[in-house]
Amino acid sequence: MNIFGKHEPTVKPLDLSENQFEIYNKISRNYSHSFLFESLTGPEELAETSIMGFDPEIIVKGYSNKITIQRKNSEIKIIETNDPLSELKNFILSSTDQSYRYLGGAVGIINYDTIRLLEKIPQSHDVDEPLMEFGIYNDGILYDNKKKQLLYFYYDKDRSNELKITDEKFTDFKLSEISPNLNQEEYSNIVNNAKQYIHDGDIFQVVLSRRFSFNAKGDFLKVYKILRDINPSPYL
């Protein structure tokens, strides 16, 4: 399935004066799906480009037994499959243009439990919850940190003049009480059992963890702003 039209993108300068984070703050307020891969500091080859995407052409969600596909203003299409990652590849075309690290494609998240698609381990994930979610982006914004230049790329449709920009200030961010899925006594028992297994020679290494849950409300971008100020890095 080709959503990109022509195989090679057009890249042109974009006339916006703010830095990459300020631009993203103003754009992201107007779209339900967007992303920022920001490089602030580090080796030149790692921190050369920051990337922004907004309003993807398609949203793909992968489950343990299906994928769902939703185009803009269209109904959701369901494809039954036991290999959602392979199905995702059908939406992506390779480009010979190596001028930049990213010129469109799939951007999203993969749940930790996706390992169950690759390894035969017990299924504990809720089958109604997606294992992965990706937006398929066929245009976007690049900030060249070396040249201090803002660029816009696209394949078929130039949407640079349609960008919705809103000048908004950050609002409050609040968290509920954090609760673990195991209390301290339960978790300590698991640790002690693991120590015994190691002592008996049944295992030599184990990674133990517990899940912490909380509800969050407010401006999530404000949290990111604080983190980028505390710890700027090539990958944000």
Q: Which amino acid is at 96?
A: T
Q: Residue 183: its pLDDT value, please?
A: 93
User: What average pLDDT does the structure give for the chain?
Assistant: 85
Q: Residue 44: its pLDDT value, please?
A: 66
Q: Any residues with CB less than 8 A from the CB of 16 and at least 6 apart, and which?
A: 23, 150
Longest dimension (CA), the chain: 67
pTM of the predicted model as reported, rounded to 2 decimal places: 0.77
Query: DSSP labels for 167-197?
Result: ------EEE---EESS-HHHHHHHHHHHHHH
Q: Residue 234: its pLDDT value, please?
A: 66
Rounded to an integer, what distance in angstroms lies between the CA atom of residue 153 and that of residue 143?
A: 11
More confident residue, 203 or 3: 203
Q: Residue 124: its pLDDT value, please?
A: 66
More confident residue, 17 or 23: 23
More confident residue, 233 or 196: 196
Would strands 132-137 and 105-110 be described as parallel, antiparallel, or unpaired? antiparallel
What average pLDDT does range 29-53 have in this prediction? 83
pLDDT in tens, 159-186: 998 888 887 778 888 889 999 999 999 9
Domain layout of the chain by residue ranges: 10-163
| 223 DSSP 8-state letter | H
Fold for the domain defined by 10-163: Anthranilate synthase (3.60.120)
pLDDT in tens, 42-90: 666 667 888 999 999 999 999 988 999 999 888 899 999 888 888 888 7
Terminus-to-terminus CA distance in the chain, angstroms?
A: 31
Q: Any residues with CB less than 8 A from the CB of 212 and at least 6 apart, and which?
A: 178, 179, 180, 181
Q: Residue 95: its pLDDT value, please?
A: 66
More confident residue, 166 or 141: 141
Distances (CA, A) of 94 to 6, 28, 42, 90, 116: 11, 27, 28, 11, 28
Distances (CA, A) of 52 to 102, 160, 184, 232: 10, 13, 41, 17
pLDDT in tens, 117-139: 888 777 665 667 889 999 999 99
